[in-house]
Amino acid sequence: MSVDASKFPPLSVTGIGLVDGLLGANCRHSIGPGDGVHNPFEHFDSEENRKREMLDQRQRLLERRIRKTRREVMTLQEAIDKAPDDATRAELEAAHRKKAALLQRQEDAYDTFCKENDLRKLYDRLEVARYGPKQAKAAEKAVKTLENGGKRSIMQDREGYARQEGFEPVIPEKYRDDFTDFEPLTLEPEEKEALAGLRRLSDESGFEYGQAKTEKGFSKVFTSSIDNGVEVPKEFLDGRSVRLFHAHTNVTPLSGMDFRLLTNPGVNRMTVIASNGDVFSVCVGDGDRPTAGEFDDVMGWLRNDVDVGMVDWPEYFDWTPQELNYMSIREQAFRIARHFKWRLEGGKL
């Protein structure tokens, strides 16, 4: 086979052999024979490539988190060994136990993510200098101490709380009537009136009710036999400039399924009123408009993020499972809105 060498630059100009050159540090490329005409990657699945890129980025993020927390666990352990008095040591040990619990959840999340997506665990990317079997054993012991102290039920039995399973949610006192993290509500008077009516119906029956606002005005009230949910008629999902409203039978903000309705091109806003009168609303505005499949891909790792990340909250070990349930759903709402650049509002009617 003959190849016109004048079409290709020599390898000597690529920096091959140098740390910042071809095949240098963190380079995963390989070299193989070719004629410069036939491109073996000319016909590739762009959607599959996009999904793989998302998985790789997610895996790198989980690995960075584990390395960061391992360093923090190790630093706390070293501080405990050098504590000047018992009071300081006790305070450091409490912080070490919480950080070790976070590390365990992060490592479990990494294992689960790799298994569910058929990815190879890259142990070399989890390594941290001076973090070895001794440090890992100390962290494991700290977690067991927490479990024996009564935190096992929160840490191990709450795997589903971001999905509203298991415990009726309760708002922690600190966050009752607190909407400082939300944008102000921008609802019209008739929309507030509709929400109040939906809430009255739900209070009376125990079922969720919904209503749609289209270019023609408000629809009739609709409901369904779904437990803790409501089916939106297809005619509204296929409409234009549709705003959806419905009443929750508990105190939670917008659920993942509420947000998912915004993947329908004609739905611009979703608003819920909780059983205590709290109102939460999300609108697409100039944000992204994912497909249902893209939304589900994001939710797959975002829920895991919420479950893992909440261990690092200062109040985590003081909240009851019911309060954890509420806070996880609230945190999930914030993360969904931030990811897709949607406006998230909250307040009272």
Q: What is the pLDDT of residue 256?
A: 92
Q: What is the pLDDT of residue 101?
A: 84
23: how many CB neighbours lie within 10 A of its CB?
Answer: 15
DSSP 8-state symbol, 274? -
Confidence category of residue 33, pLDDT binned at 50, 70, 90: confident
> Which structure tokens are listed for 147?
């479990």
Helical segments of 206-291, H only: 234-237, 256-260
Confidence category of residue 316, pLDDT binned at 50, 70, 90: confident
Q: Cα–Cα distance between 72 and 131 in angstroms, integer? A: 11
pLDDT exceeds 50 at position 160: no
Q: What is the pLDDT of residue 217?
A: 93
pLDDT exceeds 90 at position 191: yes
Looking at residue 150, its amino acid is G
Average pLDDT over residues 216-228: 80
CB 339 within 8 A of CB 298: yes
Mean pLDDT of all residues belonging to the chain:
84
pLDDT tens-place string over residues 253-284 = 999 999 999 999 999 999 999 999 999 999 99
Helix (H) or strand (E) holding 91: helix 86-116
Distances (CA, A) of 90 to 81, 272, 273: 11, 45, 44
Residues in the chain: 349
Q: What is the pLDDT of residue 185?
A: 97
Q: Cα–Cα distance between 141 and 133 in angstroms, integer? A: 12
86-116 vs 46-81: helix axis angle to the nearest 10?
160
Q: Cα–Cα distance between 214 and 245 in angstroms, integer? A: 11
Residue 65, C-beta contacts closer than 8 angstroms, at least 6 positions apart: 106, 308
Q: Residue 103 — φ and ψ, nearest 5°?
A: -60, -40
> Which structure tokens are listed for 331?
């945190």
Q: Domain ranges in the chain?
A: 48-157, 173-348
Q: Cα–Cα distance between 105 and 99 in angstroms, integer? A: 10
Average pLDDT over residues 81-105: 87
Residue 59, C-beta contacts closer than 8 angstroms, at least 6 positions apart: 110, 113, 114, 119, 122
Confidence category of residue 1, pLDDT binned at 50, 70, 90: very low
DSSP 8-state symbol, 149? I
Q: Cα–Cα distance between 150 and 146 in angstroms, integer? A: 7
pLDDT tens-place string over residues 113-159 = 899 889 999 999 999 998 888 888 888 887 777 655 544 433 333 34
Phi-psi region of 42 (alpha: psi -120 to 50; beta: other; left: phi over 0): alpha
Q: What is the pLDDT of residue 284?
A: 96
Strands (E), 229-300: 242-247, 267-273, 278-283
pLDDT exceeds 90 at position 347: yes
Average pLDDT over residues 239-265: 92
CB 328 within 8 A of CB 164: no
pLDDT exceeds 50 at position 162: no
